[in-house]
Structure 1
Amino acid sequence: MKKLFNNYLNTFKGLSQEVWWLALITFINRAGTMVIPFLSIYLTEDLNLSLEKVGWIMTCFGLGSVIGTWLGGKLTDVIGFYKVMVCSLFLTGILFIAVQYLKTFETLCIGIFLLMIVADTFRPAMFVAMSTYSKPENKTRSVTLIRLAINLGFSAGPALGGLIITTLDYSGLFWTDGITCIIATIVLFNVLNPKKAKVQDKLEVENPKSVYSNKPFIIFFFAMLIFAVVFFQYFSAMPLYYKDVHFLNKIEIGLLLGANGFFIFLFEMPLISWLEKSGYNKITLILFGALLTGLSFFVLNLTTWSGILIIGMLLMTVGEMIAFPFSNAYAMEQAKNGNQGEYMAMYIMSFSIASVFGFNAGLQIVSGIGFNNTWLIMTALSSICILLLFVLKLYMKKKTNNNELKPSHNSH
């Protein structure tokens, strides 16, 4: 047991102090977004909005996220990641507190849209900061640590959120979200000030290659976009499936969603550490992650037994644990050719754009043709994602072979 524990701790060795601080700030920030998993239930139950209207509010959520991410990437390349992160976190806190006072469909659309623009400028800036404070050989593990923080926040979030709603009500949730964002700003301000923080990987590219002319990255972008549409069903349609089809209560739903984050917290770092040594390339691993995620929807239609929800959640969790860190590390690798903010924004935008269509489409499909057919569609989408990643893999292989052939070709 002790050996196991020491091996677990060893997977965290060698990461810089700044990356650890970044992880803490991300944890506070993510635990604070506990409103998100309960948003669809809050809008239907408390504000009595129809599923269609909730779908449109979720679309505004996604659109704000897309614009925020794009803006964050641009601002990061212009004024630097630190200023972007401080402003984003502080203003997000203020906006979270304000959103609870919006009660009509129209004001909610505008409010959530603005909130997400401000909140998501943080993400590209945070990844560029992480890349700057991380040695090249530690990038995938640094990403994994940040994801651990996100997931720990995300598992603490829904569990705490369920408790806060039961004891206080939804307004308590918005207040908690706002205050935690402001606390994260204070921590960030004190520990990652450029005057104090130590840079590990300074990247100045002479002739940056635009992300839009990088063909493999575009294929990768579309694969991740589809993957994200599928993945997001776990945070929009799935809680309703748990409630309406399997009759789980709020606490059970919170626990099941929370188990995902807890499982990631325990096993992701050792898994990534092991996979990095396995010799498989990043694209192959992302492909395997997408396969498991697709299977997590496929199994739900095999039986009406509620235990299948746990199996589905486990499959999705392992798929996510593999696909996210390696896709993130692949994006950072590609970003070395150009403006880092632009590349990281493009990667994150695949998820933001997916949230525009994903949340809404999932709910509209469910309301049109039911849960079982929705899960079949998600399985089919996963297959398209896998196909795109396979094409990317062949493309990269061909490119590598061509590069190897060039010198010998010249010598003839």
Structure 2
Amino acid sequence: MSSTTIEKPSFLHSKFGGLPRPFWALWGGTLVNRLGTMVMPFTGVYLTQSRGLSVAVAGLVMGVFGVGSLLSQLLAGVLTDRIGRRATLSGGMLFTAATMLALGYSSSLPAIVASMFVLGLVIDVYRPASNALVADLVSPAERPRAYGLLFWGVNLGYAVGMTAGGWLAGLGFVWLFWIDAVSSVVFAVLVWRAVPETRPEARESAGGFGVVLRDRTMVGFTLAMLGMALVYSQTMTMLPVAMTNVVKLTSGQFGLAMALNGVLIVLVQPLVSGWLGRRDPARTLALGVAVMGAGFAMTAFVTDTLGLAVTLVVWTAGEIITAGIPGAIVATLAPADLRGRYAGLFGFAWSLAAVLAPLLGGPLLEIGMEALWFTIGGIGAVSAVGMLLLGPAIRRR
């Protein structure tokens, strides 16, 4: 009598296996691109120290970048559906490389302003195309895990890139521009060579963004994501200002605490992404946003590095819970031939939040820590409730 034993999949296979080869080419290109993302975190330093702009003028130049990024996602969404995912992604990366070098060698203010606007327009063109590619390549059941792995790769690459960028900036900012440009070209070539075009034939009735805006579930979801993005954008806008100017942490203390965010994501997120991906997406996303909002609300009570680390663990847990879920929901809501436009509207919410976050956070921080962080926590709570209310409509899809 023979017996058959069924082997359980290995840990690595359960977390990383079962996804198509083109997805891994996209993942690898994203990782390389994030490893080379060194310019944007140090742009303010570059404009003030290397180009001699005042803080006020540098802020206006960054605002021009924000205007470009607002247009970027909507333009990229249309291009993704019209000319294809692969062409949009690769083309966007090549334009990003050229613009990076143009900015790095610009010395006059008009040239810097023009380069920053174009960079805002092209640097994130890849996002709607990447989101649509994952939706095209990966089965619905595996999409939360696939989007979660992309999120993990972005954070892994960004953590290394930030560390290397800080060191290279000391040798000369031009190194940052060249490395960023080269990593963008590698991403473009890898996708062009290893990822097939997946764009479906467009329907006769498919229009522009009007058809997306008529989808009330998608519009509601985008508004909920705008709230979540406003909460998270504080990590790059008001959190550094509040911790260094109000709490009086040194840059080193703040950087050490923030490094914990990347470490937790890299270590924990792959372990839980599969399990989270099998839960109801709307409820899971609502939980993550609520936890994130609570973590930022706790920041009102921070007085030292340890207190910041505690709050950071809380909102990072929320970030880990949400990883991969929004992209999977967008893929569920979007018709196949409109996935670029739907992803573009989703990306627009994040670009808009990046512009609004400092405009909202700055005046609130002047009132006080409680005013800022309780408001941010409240926005997180409202977004979480919105996601719960959208749950039945998302489940029907």
User: Is the pair's TM-score, using the shorter chain for normalization, greater than 0.5?
Assistant: yes
Task: State the partner residue of 1:311.
Answer: 310
Further displaced range: 370-379 or 46-55: 46-55
- Please, what TM-score do these two structures have when normalized by structure 2? 0.87
Gaps of 5+ in 1: 404-412
Further displaced range: 107-116 or 323-332: 107-116
Structure 1 residues 333 and 72, CA gap change in structure 2 (3 angstroms): same
Q: Secondary structure at the match of 1:304?
A: coil
Task: State the partner residue of 2:132.
Answer: 128
Q: How does 1:5-404 map to 2 (within 5 A)?
A: 6-44=10-48, 49=53, 52-102=56-106, 107-166=111-170, 168-192=171-195, 194=197, 210-250=211-251, 252-277=253-278, 279=279, 281-336=280-335, 339-363=338-362, 365-366=364-365, 368-393=366-391, 400=396
Task: State the partner residue of 1:406.
Answer: none
Tell me which amino acid in the other structure corresponds to 1:320: E
Structure 1 residues 298 and 233, CA gap change in structure 2 (3 angstroms): same
Deviations 1:145-201 (A, max 9, x none): 1111111112112211222223x133322222122212222323332255xxxx6x9
1 CA distance for matches of 2:113 and 2:311? 32
Q: Secondary structure at the match of 1:382?
A: helix
- Please, what TM-score do these two structures have when normalized by structure 1? 0.84
2 CA distance for matches of 1:252 and 1:172? 26
RMSD, aligned CA:
3.0
Residue 59 of structure 1 contacts residue 355 of structure 1 at CA under 8 Å; is this kept in 2? no
Residue 97 of structure 1 contacts residue 174 of structure 1 at CA under 8 Å; is this kept in 2? yes
User: How far did residue 234 of structure 1 move?
Assistant: 0.4
Tell me which amino acid in the other structure corresponds to 2:81: D
Deviations 1:252-282 (A, max 9, x none): 54444443233222221221211233x4x21
2 CA distance for matches of 1:100 and 1:45? 13
2 CA distance for matches of 1:239 and 1:159? 17
Structure 1 residues 189 and 170, CA gap change in structure 2 (3 angstroms): same
2 CA distance for matches of 1:109 and 1:288? 41
Q: Secondary structure at the match of 2:272?
A: helix
Residue 65 of structure 1 contacts residue 116 of structure 1 at CA under 8 Å; is this kept in 2? yes
2 CA distance for matches of 1:106 and 1:237? 28
Tell me which amino acid in the other structure corresponds to 1:270: L
Residue 285 of structure 1 contacts residue 322 of structure 1 at CA under 8 Å; is this kept in 2? yes
Residue 230 of structure 1 contacts residue 382 of structure 1 at CA under 8 Å; is this kept in 2? yes
Q: Secondary structure at the match of 1:120?
A: coil
Structure 1 residues 381 and 102, CA gap change in structure 2 (3 angstroms): farther
2 CA distance for matches of 1:105 and 1:385? 40
Matched residue count:
388
Structure 1 residues 16 and 208, CA gap change in structure 2 (3 angstroms): same
User: How far did residue 81 of structure 1 move?
Assistant: 1.0
Residue 159 of structure 1 contacts residue 258 of structure 1 at CA under 8 Å; is this kept in 2? no
User: How far did residue 115 of structure 1 move?
Assistant: 0.5
Residue 207 of structure 1 contacts residue 338 of structure 1 at CA under 8 Å; is this kept in 2? no
Tell me which amino acid in the other structure corresponds to 1:33: T
Residue 201 of structure 2 contacts residue 337 of structure 2 at CA under 8 Å; is this kept in 1? no
Gaps of 5+ in 2: 1-8
Residue 223 of structure 1 contacts residue 388 of structure 1 at CA under 8 Å; is this kept in 2? yes
Tell me which amino acid in the other structure corresponds to 1:381: I
Deviations 1:42-81 (A, max 9, x none): 4455556555544433332222112111111111111111
1 CA distance for matches of 2:68 and 2:331? 24
Structure 1 residues 80 and 396, CA gap change in structure 2 (3 angstroms): closer
Structure 1 residues 311 and 227, CA gap change in structure 2 (3 angstroms): same
